[in-house]
Structure 1
Amino acid sequence: MNPQQRQIAEQLAERARSRADLADPPRRAALLDVVRQALGQGLAAQALPLLSALSKARPADPEIALLHGVALRREQRLLDAAAVFSAAIAAGAKDPALVQGLAQTRYELGQPAAALFAEAQARNPADLEILRNRALALASEGGRAGAETLLEEAVTKHPAWLDGHKALSVLRWTGGDQARHAASYGPACAAQPGNADLWLAWFRALAQARDWTGARGVLDRAERSLGVTPAILVSRLFIASEAGEEAETERLLAATAALQGETINLIRVRHALRRGEPDAAEAVCLPQLITPSAPLFWPYITLAWRVKNDPRATWVDRPDQFIKACPVDLDTSELPELAALLRQLHTMEQPYIEQSVRGGTQTDRSVILRHEPIMQRARARWMEAIRRYVDDLPPWEQGHPLLGLPRQHLLIEGSWSVRLLRQGYNVPHNHPVGWLSTAFYIALPSPDAMGPAPAGHIAFGTPPEELGLDLQPYRTIAPQEGVTAVFPSTMWHRTMPFEDGERLVMALDVARPRY
């Protein structure tokens, strides 16, 4: 902990011991202010003993219940959070935020939540986030058509609502309606032709699908409404670079030489690597490593260093130390039970447009946080295996993307299941939002159906194919039921195609720890 975190943690412990008088308004306000500071500093775990005592003393206090539920959610104790929200509502607490909190928590647990979101929306009809989450919950409960209708009506009424357009686009794409997935943006841009964010959101929806013709058409129309803007130039550069248009890329790189930002710097790095110019890629990456954008650039600078045979690539990746196959303590009866549950969750017709899955599907929400007892047991055992991995890491090293962070408190950044079928695979990618990443093998094809090695293996250090780099994998791990592959989130990795059968895994990212 840093000094400020330590001071707040000490205040929480002292307040919990003293049990301040909640009937005294100034003392109550001071008490809850310390709790809010703790949540702002990422100290939800330290706030929970005090909040638990306060909830017992004042079960119908909506402010206490909300803070208690939020702290439990931050610690990913969703079943406990749902119980707190439910108890407060049953005790007479009237805050609409409690209904919304309960709805969101039940949705993330994989429990029915659409009706609760509808109730929350009725209490706060102006909150479009509630409407979006109601639509997502409705779709997860089998009401995809109704969810689309909700979102369609909302974006028609609120054309500038970017989150609504994106949710509708994802719903259509994963439901198999690729032709119309971005259709809502056109009328919205016609209604608000001066809204640059809306035009760019439409562009991104098409560019993610590598629909270069459609994306260019959007930029042409945007330019007629907005003129030539830096964002439009960068967007044109992105298309030219990713489509392999060398002359246009060079022209636009010159036109945007003075611009800075994550997107254009990533374009510069990828273009330099494509051209076999690792020094140029390194020069762009290095300044970014001391900024919040560092997780996006560590994977690329390691590629540049590997091309140059620079030992710093090994210092970052350390494949012999950091890539491990770790057993997870689930028995032979639990794995089939978990597999049966996961198969029920693979309801999408197509994987998410921005994900790496080819020839299979991916689940929504954070699957490991679900309510089912088998999932709860799997989460506990899986996190125990990851904890052992973390405890075995080398000592802290300043500036290293994995070793340079604290390791005490581990939380999940996101989790999902991937179900690959015949010839399915994942393209090379990394996980810039995580600290550690894992792939836990739940069910696999027979060895004969899998095919000869490295079919079905996870391969590490594999650069994106479109960069054209002649770099071989550091190593591969053969999948084995009941085993999880653990590796740094900055590590490039892919899944190799296999001949036939079903390859069912769960994956999660561990969040970058704060203490």
Structure 2
Amino acid sequence: MNRTDARQAIAAIPQTDAATAFNVGLDLLRNDHAEILLPIARKLARKFPRDPRMQQLLGLAARTAQDSTLALEAFGQAAKLAPSDPLIAHSHARCALEAGAPAVALFQRAVEMAPTDGHALLGMGAALLHEGRAQDAVDHLDTLLAANPLWIDGHRDAAHIRGQMGLDPYATITKALAGQPRSLELTTLLAGTHLEALDFEGALAGLQDARGKLGDPASLRILAAHAMSELGNLSEADTTFGTLAPGSSVNDTSLHARHHLRAGRAAKAAALIEPVIARDYDHLLWPYLSLAWRLTENPRYRWLEADERLISVYDLGNILGDLDVLASHLRHLHFASAQPLDQSVRGGTQTDGNLLLRTSAPIRKLRKAILAKVADHVAQLPPFEAGHPTLLKDRDPLRVAGSWSVRLKDEGFHSDHVHSKGWISSALYITLPDTIGQAQDRGKGETDHSGWLTLGESRDILPGLEPVRLVEPKQGRLVLFPSTMWHGTRPFSAGERMTVAFDIARPQQS
């Protein structure tokens, strides 16, 4: 269903038949047309104020369109009208969590109605965490996992919560494996968690131990080869990668291409990626192809990333007002005591959840300012290019795929990374120490830009490759760039560096 079809469906909605209107609305949502549906959903909710389906439809449309205030209000009304509906109860709780409102009691109610709903159970853990009850969140998941040791999603959430609280992230997985030693899913999860924690030795040891129990499945061999490569054991990694069928999956291809790049074989990385790039729907491969094309001086690199309009820098200090107020608000959201397992943060903490969905006044003001500049950036992008991961044909609606605040302290930095699930990524500087923004001579004639944002650099893979651009951080400065572009930060010596970052989701293409 394209946008024209969606508007025709809206025009044909019978405003006297609530059941039919509800089903048409659900079909529009399934086809990702929430913004088109929202005005008529408002009208239907007013026309049928006692029908929980109409309030539910409004809540679903508002939540997808990222109007957290309206979504929470609509689901609250729907829950009053249908107090025994488990789906409405869960949606109400989820909206409260996203909005930054108290949600524990709402999730308790949802779980009571659907005690085996894994999403509601995980939501309870997240709500406890957001309300400052980290140990209760850990205990909640521990209890559930003791009774359900093969619940992979539960183990994954438990590992991430434990990691951020400075606890053993592997605890529930290793306990479950003790009772289920032949579980491929648990073994894969344990290895993946070690990799997220950058514990490549631990990942490899666990994978080698698993061979005696599980044989030598290809899904574990690819992880072992990746760990070997990350450890610098390039010859061993070559041997192990060589036992695997090339192009078996996009994810496997990305790991193999990463290894080729680290080993100085950019042409081989490109040759591996190019035949499968058309099915790289999650954009795992474009960042590696960018490096390969750049290193081999392929003219397609210029087509991909060299246009200056792909990067925008805006100074929002006058728009955002007193950044100290925003900084104080953000500090209260940094509950963690350690860096997250699966992110680029080194020497700092990161907030949980989609920050820009919160309904507090400082965040609403921030979101409005940010999205206005994102719209400006999108408007000046080069025209549509078929096959280009950034220069899309359809460029709206502008939705936030994820958003967070990072608080780095002494010697903190971001490792070079990409955001494969986004379209446009960002960095907005809220607080900076005095040492940031100064070029410092570190001896031997080398100059390092302390705390600066680097674009086009991938030091873990190619430590000798220079960035294509360095951006000086300033309070209130917003930098926008393609999500497939490598980016990171240089360490700084002392103080606090707090940022807000977000990804704009790739709009659905017609």
Give the secondary structure class of the aligned counterpart of 1:233: helix
Matched, 1:478 2:472: yes
Question: RMSD of the TM alignment (CA)?
Answer: 2.0
Matched-pair contact (CA < 8 Å) for 1:59–1:87: no
Matched, 1:308 2:306: no
Number of residue pairs the alignment of both structures matches: 502
Question: CA separation of 1:448/1:183 partners in 2, compared to 1, >3 Å: closer, same or farther?
Answer: closer
Superposed CA offset, 1:392-419 (max 9, x none): 1121111111113411311101001111
How far apart are the structure 2 equivalents of 1:450 and 1:342? 25
What is the aligned partner in structure 2 of residue 8 from structure 1? Answer: 6
What is the aligned partner in structure 2 of residue 458 from structure 1? Answer: 453
| One of 345, 353, 358 as aligned partner of 2:346 | 358
How far apart are the structure 1 equivalents of 2:449 and 2:436? 13
Give the secondary structure class of the aligned counterpart of 2:332: helix
Superposed CA offset, 1:338-385 (max 9, x none): 111011111211111121111211111111111111110110011001
Amino acid at match of 1:83: E
CA-CA distance at 1:147 after TM superposition: 1.2
Question: CA separation of 1:63/1:187 partners in 2, compared to 1, >3 Å: closer, same or farther?
Answer: same
How far apart are the structure 2 equivalents of 1:490 and 1:449? 25
What is the aligned partner in structure 1 of residue 179 from structure 2? Answer: 191
CA-CA distance at 1:103 after TM superposition: 1.0
Query: Which shifted more, 214-223 or 146-155?
Result: 214-223
Amino acid at match of 1:9: R
What is the aligned partner in structure 1 of residue 241 from structure 2? Answer: 253
What is the aligned partner in structure 2 of residue 175 from structure 1? Answer: 165
Query: Which shifted more, 261-270 or 466-475?
Result: 466-475
Matched-pair contact (CA < 8 Å) for 1:451–1:499: no
Matched-pair contact (CA < 8 Å) for 2:50–2:81: yes
TM-score (structure 1 length as normaliser):
0.93
What is the aligned partner in structure 2 of residue 25 from structure 1? Answer: none
Give the secondary structure class of the aligned counterpart of 1:414: strand
Superposed CA offset, 1:54-94 (max 9, x none): 21222332333222211111001111000001122334553
TM-score (structure 2 length as normaliser):
0.93
Give the secondary structure class of the aligned counterpart of 2:12: helix
Superposed CA offset, 1:106-146 (max 9, x none): 11111111111111111111112211111111122121111
What is the aligned partner in structure 2 of residue 19 from structure 1? Answer: 15
Matched-pair contact (CA < 8 Å) for 1:449–1:500: no
Give the secondary structure class of the aligned counterpart of 1:394: coil
Q: How does 1:41-440 map to 2 (within 5 A)?
A: 41-177=31-167, 180-257=168-245, 260-293=248-281, 295-318=283-306, 320-328=308-316, 330-331=318-319, 333-440=321-428
Question: CA separation of 1:221/1:131 partners in 2, compared to 1, >3 Å: closer, same or farther?
Answer: same
How far apart are the structure 1 equivalents of 2:149 and 2:360? 39
Give the secondary structure class of the aligned counterpart of 1:498: coil
CA-CA distance at 1:332 after TM superposition: 6.6
Give the secondary structure class of the aligned counterpart of 1:466: coil
How far apart are the structure 2 equivalents of 1:44 and 1:410? 12
What is the aligned partner in structure 2 of residue 505 from structure 1? Answer: 499
How far apart are the structure 2 equivalents of 1:62 and 1:114? 23
| One of 482, 490, 512 as aligned partner of 2:484 | 490
Amino acid at match of 1:136: A
How far apart are the structure 1 equivalents of 2:283 and 2:224? 25
Question: CA separation of 1:469/1:449 partners in 2, compared to 1, >3 Å: closer, same or farther?
Answer: closer
Question: CA separation of 1:205/1:448 partners in 2, compared to 1, >3 Å: closer, same or farther?
Answer: closer
Superposed CA offset, 1:146-165 (max 9, x none): 11111011111111111111
What is the aligned partner in structure 1 of residue 444 from structure 2? Answer: none
Give the secondary structure class of the aligned counterpart of 2:120: helix
How far apart are the structure 2 equivalents of 1:338 and 1:106? 21
Question: CA separation of 1:199/1:327 partners in 2, compared to 1, >3 Å: closer, same or farther?
Answer: same
CA-CA distance at 1:462 after TM superposition: 0.6
Query: Which shifted more, 84-93 or 403-412?
Result: 84-93
Amino acid at match of 1:486: L
Give the secondary structure class of the aligned counterpart of 2:279: coil
CA-CA distance at 1:168 after TM superposition: 0.9
CA-CA distance at 1:502 after TM superposition: 1.6
CA-CA distance at 1:294 after TM superposition: 5.7
CA-CA distance at 1:237 after TM superposition: 1.4
